[in-house]
Structure 1
Amino acid sequence: MNGYHVGMSVARGAVGILRDAGLAATGSLSKDGPTHERLARTMEKWIADGFYRVGDNLPSARHLSEEFRVSNRAVGRAIDVLADKGLVDAFRGRSTTVTATQPWTGKIRRHIREKGYGAGIVLSAFDTAAALGISEKECERAFARLKKEGVLGFVPGTGFYVKGEG
């Protein structure tokens, strides 16, 4: 077997050093709210801060439950929160993949694909927000992010439009 074999205490110490240097995601939860919501906020921050990028798989539920000392159920519910925001695609018994780095952008991308909206279709923040069950303000922020990513364009007086495939 090639590579190094180290004890768990050495490995944990190395992860701690990386966390202190800002090079690894932190495994601590805030103290306010239900456990699954606190875990979801922490994982959302990991994604927003770039520790996990679009296409990356999150650690397994078992790993997360051990890392945070929470139940598998809390991890599953936290992943459901992230999936509801469109940040991850999660399938029970399989890996959880990051699909967006900002809340709602993944959900809006999926909405565009599912509705079959092609290039040039103008999107209404009001209608999109209502269809997805999010606030109009959150939808407008996600539209602005998708514009920066090149998914949407913007014409003053008309609004946001689909530039290509979501």
Structure 2
Amino acid sequence: MLLRLDKRDTRPLHEQVAGAVRRAIAEGECRPGDRLPSARDLSQMLDININTVLRGLRGLRDEGLLEFRRGRGVTVAEGADRHSGLRIRVRELVADAGRLGYSPNDVIEMIRGTR
């Protein structure tokens, strides 16, 4: 798995780590059941602090995209490929709406059909 971060990106590094892994899952580079490199290896590969990597990975675990298993490391969760692609599109939608002056709550209301 080849991950790269854009040092010019203004988002926090842990969000960039999560986004890079999310993209790898959505694009099929990482499939359900695949084991990710260790957090230590990822931190060295990306030249960032291991705690930053762990924070990004924990966020993906909380989203249901990754599973942390003692003795087996971090693996891509079953169904993560379907969820990851949708999450990317939702994030893009919210970002586009923000550029047009809408809040995330405005987008939610639009989806519910009340606006």
TM-score by length of 1: 0.45
Asked if 1:103 is matched to 2:83, the reply is yes
CA contact (8 A) 1:87 1:102 kept: no
Count of aligned residue pairs for this structure pair: 84
CA contact (8 A) 2:3 2:46 kept: no
**C-alpha distance after superposition, 1:75-115 (max 9, x if no partner):** 110111111111010246751010111337xxxxxxxxxxx
For the aligned residues, what is the CA RMSD? 2.5
- Name stretches of at least 5 consecutive residues in structure 1 with no aligned partner: 1-23, 105-136, 138-166
TM-score by length of 2: 0.63
Asked if 1:54 is matched to 2:32, the reply is yes
Cα distance in structure 2, aligned partners of 1:93 and 1:71: 22
CA contact (8 A) 1:29 1:39 kept: no
CA contact (8 A) 2:5 2:16 kept: no
Greater radius of gyration (CA): 1
- Name stretches of at least 5 consecutive residues in structure 2 with no aligned partner: 85-107, 109-115
**Residue 4 of structure 2: aligned partner:** 27
Cα distance in structure 2, aligned partners of 1:59 and 1:81: 16
The structure carrying a bigger helix percent of its residues is: 2
Higher relative contact order at CA 8 Å, sep ≥6: structure 1 or structure 2? 2
Q: Percent of aligned positions with the same letter in both sequences?
A: 35
CA contact (8 A) 1:79 1:90 kept: no
